[in-house]
Amino acid sequence: MIDKINALLREVENMKAADAEELESLRIKYLSKKGEISALFNDFRNVAAEQKREVGKYLNELKEKAQNKINELRESFDNVQTADAGIDLTRTAYPIGLGTRHPLSIVKKEICDIFNRLGFSIAEGPEIEDDWHVFTALNFAEDHPARDMQDTFFIQHNPDVLLRTHTSSVQTRVMEKNQPPIRIICPGRVYRNEAISYRAHCFFHQVEGLYIDKNVSFADLKQALLFFAKEMFGADTKIRLRPSYFPFTEPSAEMDISCNLCGGKGCAFCKHTGWVEILGCGMVDPNVLDNCGIDSKIYSGYALGMGIERITNLKFQVKDLRMFSENDIRFLKEFESAN
């Protein structure tokens, strides 16, 4: 019996298998119910009582070695197989979550698409700007509060290197380089030195629109705005223009739309007025045209600017602005169907 155990032990130690199939037949040969090791366990009954202790010990060792050897060979096959099949073990398990567009991107695209249909093309500019393009060229007086340290992030204590506070700086750049007709829409991120709360952030997004040509009038502006409002918020939407002030437009206005939650009847959202403000606009101040090398005696134009967060809030009722930059997957997934 001991000799037989030793012979099998040697066989087991030298066991080799070319593939998983061969390994399985080895397992059957040695370890299955009818296998050779099991047969030895059956013969164990006939071993003399005084030898049982010793033989039993060897037998158990043989079984354990055989089991270990088979496991070892199986593991090496598993590894080879995975490498051969080119399986990437670092990949996330199925199902793989598909990303969705950020709500601000959805709304930015929608705004740009609407203006694209009116013949506007997209223009972009740098976020790190200088005083000229953000303020001076746009007719901001020397002591205008928007230049104040309160609002503007300056870079390296240099009053001429700053983060743009509005995307109107892109219109300066486009006008400097191009002669009319100019019809552009400028989406982008802007920065202001604000305390962060549910209703303000130190960065947000705007879309600026600019149209310069001969004989552009306020009526053209109003028509474009009405088209935009109806496309964005529905065909029943009404608009209202209120006189306002911006340094770079004269006359200037702010536009309200009929509250899209209550349809203009008055609710908590519109503070029971039936109207909500969505953008600033006006006729480009002749000083701005001249500053940028466009002859204000020949050309006129309109400009408009809106906050993407504001429009997104109106569309989706996001109560806390900070949600837009927290990357909370549960929040972002809520916009899956709007993609």
User: Which residue ranges make up the site for ligand DAH (CB under 6 A)?
Assistant: 166, 168, 208, 246, 249, 280-282, 303-305
Residue type, 83: A
Specify the residue, 299 or 335, whose C-beta has the smaller distance to ligand DAH.
299
Q: Where are the alpha helices (DSSP H) in the chain?
A: 2-13, 20-31, 36-43, 52-84, 103-117, 131-134, 168-177, 218-233, 286-291, 308-316, 329-333
Measure the CA–CA gap between 255 and 222, rounded to whole angstroms: 10
Task: State the nearest-atom distance from the C-beta of 126 to ligand DAH, in Å.
Answer: 16
Question: Cα angle vertex 307, ends 184, 107, to 5°?
Answer: 80
Task: State the nearest-atom distance from the C-beta of 313 to ligand DAH, in Å.
Answer: 16
| Token representation of residue 157 | 């204590």
- How many angstroms from the chain centroid is the CA of residue 205? 14
Tokens 């701005």 correspond to: 288
Specify the residue, 114 or 303, whose C-beta has the smaller distance to ligand DAH.
303
Task: State the nearest-atom distance from the C-beta of 85 to ligand DAH, in Å.
Answer: 56
Task: State the nearest-atom distance from the C-beta of 209 to ligand DAH, in Å.
Answer: 7
Specify the residue, 129 or 208, whose C-beta has the smaller distance to ligand DAH.
208
Specify the residue, 120 or 246, whose C-beta has the smaller distance to ligand DAH.
246
Specify the residue, 40 or 210, whose C-beta has the smaller distance to ligand DAH.
210
Task: State the nearest-atom distance from the C-beta of 235 to ligand DAH, in Å.
Answer: 25
Residue closest to ligand DAH, measured at CB: 305
**CB-based contact 306:225 (threshold 8 Å):** no
